[in-house]
Chain A
Amino acid sequence: MYQQVLEVLRCCKERNTQFDEDVKVMPMVKTPQAVDLAEESEMIDCTLMQRKKLIIEELFSSWNNTGVMSLLRPLLLDVVPTIQQTAALALGRLANYNDALAEAVVKGNILPHLVCSLSEQNRFYKKAAAFVLRAVGKHSPQLAQAIVQCGALEMLVVCLEDFDPGVKEAASWALGYIARHNSELSQAVVDAGAVPLLVLCIQEPEIALKRIAASTLSDISKHSPELAQTVVDAGAIAHLAQMILNPDAKLKRQVLSALSQIAKHSVDLAELVVEAEIFPVVLTCLKDSDEYVKKNGATLIREIAKHTPELSQLIVNAGGVAAVIDCIGSCRGTVRLPGIMMLGYVAAHSENLSMAVIVSKGVPPLCASLVEEHEDHIKAAAAWALGQVGRHTPEHARAVAVANVLPTLLAMYMDTRSSEDLQMKTKKALKNILQKCTYLPALEPLLHDAPPNIMKHIVGQFSKVLPHDSKARRLFVTTGGLKKVQEIKAEPGSLLQEYINTINNCYPEEIVRYYSPGYSEILLERVENYHPVI
């Protein structure tokens, strides 16, 4: 079975030049099995068909027991450089595949060999070795910690100074994967002196290198403000800001994500990012054809807007709100989420900003996203944002209520299928808006289905408005509101009862009695008990 598989595998790699090398290698290696293993391990990425993949998986699980690492290790120390490179590549691909194999690589004591021989080898070996480190480091923090402990970081940093862009790319990719896991590892990467070299890499002309360097900087700076400060001190912001204009979509993604990771930690960092004159250029990113560029652009604007009212004011003055609203309108799904949150943050700061959001026609897209989206967390974000917009004054609440969104919020609150988070956010948003809403036509439909804790607010609002407005009183009666209010059962002495009393006091006695439940029975009883006077 094994031999058949080997034959099948061999058929597909006709033009693999490494086959020639391995043919040369064959007489020199002790067991032919090792050669086959080496060949097959290179084949992993070449084979595309599903069945072969399944076979390979079985092989892998069996190889773990057969001690692949101990076979590949001596190949690493071989005299012929090509064999070393091929062996390193094979290790890299093995480790890339799953984390059990990566652990086997670490346990097989291979990393110190790799690290030691990295300094005096040629660029292909360096690329392959960096690939191995990347593949091992990407699976979990423990493996990345093992890499750091065997002193690989210094070697990777040395690779970053190399002339060949491929080597730099591989090294910075490895550093990026290591720094991604947690802040201690990021700190270790920074302590090895990687950040200035990465900033130099960003300025190189090769696009792939720029991408990887930008993503590594983003991974480093996302953990803590000190790390972000370190990245900023190396002068990264200016270069990143220049690269926003680059037409390559993937590069823009990484650059925007790096800037947003820097800006999210504190007000000073956000101000530094803003001072790099990204507005209004960033707004063009919101119109890009690539979804993730739009998402990252919206994330960057959100992180800046979140800190202080002054920063939000700056964004509003630059027309950012309009751009974000258009962006929300044109996207679907999780791509909308940062845009929605950005509107929420801007509206949360002050009532003038919230009014600016309303004036820029922000409420309809928020309502649309509340209704259309399927994911609960996006709906929750939209509910929160609407709550922030409508919470300030009656004008704001009116603007939100006119968009007919309150029944939707109530329905979501009462729906048993919505998650707890969504229910809490809709409840909070409803409470905040209702406490300021004086627009009675929007409150009417809510009277009929609201649960008691929301009913309290609705009835409270009615009790505040009705005593002063006669037209509203008339409307209230004709639309059946008074009848509904009479049907509400409230405990005497509670706030709800007080509100109901206030409402009842606005109307003459007979009307109140007429609408109280069971009035028709009372009338009929009176008819029964009446003795006609003949």
Chain B
Amino acid sequence: FYIFRSVDEDRKIEYKAAIKIQSWFRGCRVRAYLRYLNTMVIIIQKWWRGYRSRRYFRKMVETAYFIMKMNFYNEMAVRIQKRWRGYYIRKYIHNYYALKKYLEAISVNNEIVRNELQEYAEMKENEEKRKDLEKKEKEKEYQARKMHYLLSTEQIAGIYNSPFRKSPDPMELLLRNSKPLSHRRQQVKSPFSCEVYDWPTCKRPPIFSTAQPLPPIGRQKPQGPFRDTAEVLQQRYKPLEPTLRVAASINSPLEKAREEMKKEERRNRIHDNEFLPFSSYHKNEKYDPSIHRSGKYGQEIYGIKQFREVQPQKWVANKDFQTVLPSIVLFEKFGKTYSRAGQIV
């Protein structure tokens, strides 16, 4: 009995030992296998990552190169545009020398105008004086004609021919020359005789002659097979015809509109506070809000986000319409038709 028991216990011990050894061995094997797997996996991952990053790197290099090229082009373009814009503006928009010439021409023109006007004024004054003188003469003559009986005779000296004077008075001479006035009734003098049109000022207003002197006649034709001078000059001085894009600045319509508004404002605003009579009369006016703010719906979705009005109370069943047609093909293409080569990355 004891022998079997010890053999049995030995056997148990051996059995447990065998199990331990086997499990350890199996564990080793599995660990080795796992280690092996690990290294394999590491290799694969290493390769894969290297591959991905090389691709990425290549892409980065490409973009960097692209950016460098674009910068270079931009630089060059800026240089060209700089030169061109300077030239264009100096020649056509703010031509300093042309402006100077224009202002000089204006002063010359002003001088001419002033001289002409001065002459005109002087002429008018002379005319006025002449008119007055003539009127006086006429008066005197009329008086002389009326009083012709004051003429002196051989016997009796008249008033104007006093014996104490050396020579007769000019009135005496007038009386001698004038015919006696008959008693016919004087015709009514037309008041329009004064607005006579033979006064020189009325006929011809001052002509402000600013015409250029004509070129000399009879120029000799140059010898030789030259092109026609007119053609050459025409070609040389052909006017620039810039396209609309060049002629207008970049922000053109907006800028122009703003400038317009500013100019109008500066020109027309003479009074800052316009006189508003009875302004307190308007103080009690109620403020009428706009439709946008006064309605309770806020921004309308109809027309902006959806194009159908939907009224769930009126539905027969509880469902909306089923869409049969697909969505519109054209709208799906938005943003996808052209390649992205030219866009800045």
Contacts and interface: CB of A to CB of B under 8 A. Distances in A.
A424 B99 CA distance: 34
B267 A348 contact: yes
A248 B195 contact: yes
Interface string B120-158: 110011001000000000000000000000000000000
A270 to B, nearest CB: 14
A344 to B, nearest CB: 8
B117 interface: yes
B318 to A, nearest CB: 63
B110 A321 contact: yes
A283 B117 contact: yes
Contacts of B205: 245, 280-281, 284
A349 B109 contact: no
A345 B267 CA distance: 7
A106 interface: no
B285 to A, nearest CB: 25
Nearest to A279: B208
Given A281-B205, A287-B117, A326-B114, A428 B272 contact: yes
A319 interface: yes
Contacts of A345: 267
Nearest to B210: A319
A283 B113 contact: yes
Interface string B71-98: 0000000000000000000000000000
A245 B197 CA distance: 11
A317 B106 contact: yes
Interface stretch (A10-18, A183-191, A354-362): A354-362
A388 B112 CA distance: 27
Contacts of A247: 195, 199, 201-202
Contacts of A281: 205
Contacts of A388: 266
B206 interface: yes
B113 A323 contact: yes
Contacts of B206: 280, 284
Contact of A360 (B110, B199, B267): B110
A246 interface: yes
Interface string A26-50: 0000000000000000000000000
Contacts of B109: 317, 319, 322
Interface string A320-337: 011100100000000000
A359 B106 contact: yes
A395 B308 CA distance: 64
B230 interface: no
B199 A319 contact: no
A246 B112 CA distance: 24
B113 A280 contact: yes
Interface SS, B side: helix
Contacts of A421: 271
Q: Which of B117, B195, B202 has the most CB of A within 10 A?
A: B117
B344 interface: no
Given A207-B192, A245-B202, A247-B195, A359 B107 contact: yes
A245 to B, nearest CB: 6
Contact of A323 (B106, B107, B114, B270): B114
Nearest to B207: A280
Contacts of A306: 267
A284 B195 contact: no
A323 B117 contact: yes
A384 interface: yes
B263 interface: yes
Interface in A407-426: 421, 424
A280 B208 contact: yes
Nearest to B104: A359
A355 B107 CA distance: 11
A322 B113 contact: yes
B247 interface: no
B34 interface: no
A322 B266 contact: no
A360 B104 CA distance: 10
B103 interface: yes
A224 to B, nearest CB: 18
Contacts of A200: none
A453 interface: no
B33 to A, nearest CB: 78
A288 B263 CA distance: 34
Q: Which of A205, A283, A345 has the most CB of B within 10 A?
A: A283
Contacts of A348: 266-267
Contacts of B111: 322
A356 B103 contact: yes
Nearest to A355: B103
A286 interface: yes
A18 to B, nearest CB: 22
Contacts of A3: none
Interface in A264-317: 280-281, 283-284, 286-289, 306, 309, 316-317
A307 B96 CA distance: 26
B106 A356 contact: yes
Contact of B107 (A280, A360, A384, A424): A360
B117 A286 contact: yes
Contacts of A326: 114, 117
Interface string A374-399: 00000000001000100100000000
B103 A207 contact: no
A119 interface: no
Interface string B244-277: 0000000000000000000100110011110000
Interface of A: 205, 207, 245-248, 280-281, 283-284, 286-289, 306, 309, 316-319, 321-323, 326, 345, 348-350, 352, 355-356, 359-360, 384, 388, 391, 421, 424, 428
Given A246-B195, A284-B117, A287-B121, 4 more contacts: A287-B118, A287-B124, A326-B114, A359-B106
7 contacts: A287-B120, A289-B128, A326-B117, A348-B267, A349-B263, A355-B103, A360-B110
Interface of B: 99, 102-103, 106-107, 109-114, 117-118, 120-121, 124-125, 128, 192, 195, 199, 201-202, 205-206, 208, 263, 266-267, 270-273
User: Nearest 4 pairs between A and B by C-beta?
Assistant: A319-B113, A322-B110, A348-B267, A287-B121
